[in-house]
Amino acid sequence: MSITILGIESSCDETAASVVEDGHVLSNIIADQKVHQEYGGVVPELASRAHQQNIVPVVDRALAEAGKTTDDLKAIAFTRGPGLIGALLVGSSFAKGLSLALNIPLIDVNHLQAHIMSLFLKRKNEERSFPPFPFLCLLVSGGHTQLVIMKDHLTMEIIGQTIDDAAGEAFDKCAKILGLGYPGGPLIDLYARKGNPEAFKFGKPKISGHDFSFSGLKTSFLYFLRDQLKGNPEFIAQYLNDLCASLQHAIIDILIAKVTLAVKETNIREVALAGGVSANSGLREALTRQGKKHNWNIYIPEIQYSTDNAAMIALTGYYKYLSGKLADQTITPVARFDQL
């Protein structure tokens, strides 16, 4: 008897639904919200409204593409947090209603744990190598940056995290300083490919242990540009590629240095990357290079599963279902990781 799970993701500005059966992805539908672009960032109230408009058609498409109906579902998994509370409320209310109507279990999912589970996503008959436990994971998203030891599919030990901005936030805030659109990470990635990563140097954080800091880099970037623009108002336009390449290089350097330290101290040589920033081409290459150099095994999610999606929610739901970790109708979404 197959175990078919519907996953729903609505933590930020992507409304997503996916059907996963016996651990294999059958469908992965994502509706992103263009409405935020003109504001230069996600507007929470607009995100909630767009989720409300998108959720029914997105779930319908996920079921149709999977060739399933609601009668085939064994459980509904949804993102409980962290994220924007109004956005989370749309997905969680929908999931609760559907689980009640179909009389099937409800499963709450931690969005960050799900990002790590994106490493285990594949379609049926697809060849992919999965990280063995325990493995070390650098989790880099728009709101979080953590170093995690994964002990099994559902047990994560956080050994380091950012004390200020997340890596994705550093990309997005610096992109804003450059006058680029939102989200800035993918745009910086794009321009960086044509630039010189050694062209400019920015301040490096001095944080001991496994924790991260990115706010100093952002300030150093801001002051550097302010000074340059005084002498040359066209500085950004003239050096955009080099600025993006140098900034991306600085962010990657910070991340790789901490991973290297963590491998040394934990002696875990199975190293994975997850979260939206794992889509960054420079970071993917740098970690792969470092892995080759030091003889680590490297695991990186497919690009389609790097940024927010519901397949990772459905797969985490599948593992929680197998271990009987179900939620009930009293569950409510939470905005912060430490509330989960």
Residue selected from 7, 81, 195, 276 as contacting ligand KG4 according to rule CB under 6 A: 276
301 prior amide bond cis, ω within 30:
no
User: Cβ of 337: how many Cβ atoms within 10 Å?
Assistant: 18
197 is a site residue for ligand KG4 (CB under 6 A): no
Instruction: State the amino acid at position 180 in one-letter form.
Output: L
| CB 194, min distance to ligand KG4, A | 15
Number of H helices, E strands in the chain: 10, 10
Q: Using the minimum distance from each CB to Zn ion, give the nearer residue, 156 or 245.
A: 156
Nearest to 167 by CA among 147, 150, 149: 147
The entry of ligand KG4, Zn ion, none that residue 184 binds, CB within 5 to 8 Å by partner kind: ligand KG4
CA dist 242 to 196, 199, 237, 245, 332, Å? 5, 6, 10, 5, 46
Site for ligand KG4 in 206-235 (CB under 6 A): none
- Would you give the end-to-end CA distance of the chain in angstroms? 32
Give the total of residues touching ligand KG4 (CB under 6 A): 20
Q: Which of residues 102-121 bind ligand KG4 (CB under 6 A)?
A: 115
Q: Which stretch binds Zn ion (CB under 5 A): 51-59, 141-149, 166-174, 284-292?
A: 141-149
Pick the closer one to Zn ion by CB: 183 or 282.
Answer: 183
Report the residue number whose CB is nearest to ligand KG4: 276
- Work out which of 141, 213, 306, 316 binds Zn ion, going by CB under 5 A: 141
Out of 7, 91, 131, 143, point to the residue binding ligand KG4 (CB under 6 A). 143
Beta carbon of residue 162, minimum distance to ligand KG4 (angstroms, whole number):
12
Nearer to Zn ion, 68 or 80 (CB): 80
Residue 112 vs 245, nearer CB to Zn ion? 112
Q: Restricting to residues 155-184, name those near ligand KG4 by CB under 6 A.
A: 168, 171-172, 183-184
The tokens for 49 are 């409204």
180 binds, among ligand KG4, Zn ion, none (CB under 5 to 8 A by kind): none
The two three-digit tokens of residue 158, written as one number: 């956080």
CA pair distance 166, 143, nearest whole angstrom: 5
**Nearest distance in Å: CB 138, ligand KG4:** 13
Cα 59 to Cα 41: distance, rounded to the nearest angstrom = 26
Interface with Zn ion (CB under 5 A), residue from 308, 315, 318, 327: 308
Q: Given candidates 12, 30, 73, 88, which one binds ligand KG4 under the rule CB under 6 A?
A: 12
Counted residue by residue, the chain has a size of 340
Could you please report the per-residue DSSP string of 152-212? Answer: ETTEEEEEEEBSS--HHHHHHHHHHHTT--SSHHHHHHHHHTTS-TTS---PPP---TT-B
- Does 189 contact ligand KG4 by CB under 6 A? yes
The distance of closest approach from Cβ of residue 267 to ligand KG4 in the complex, given in angstroms and rounded to an integer, is 28
Enumerate the β-bridge partners of residue 137.
Answer: 148, 272
Residue from 27, 28, 290, 307 binding ligand KG4 (CB under 6 A): 307
DSSP code of 11? S
Beta carbons of 138 and 116 less than 8 angstroms apart? no
Which residues contact Zn ion (rule: CB under 5 A)?
141, 308
Which chain residues interact with ligand KG4 by CB under 6 A?
A: 12, 115, 141-143, 168, 171-172, 183-186, 189, 275-277, 279-280, 307-308
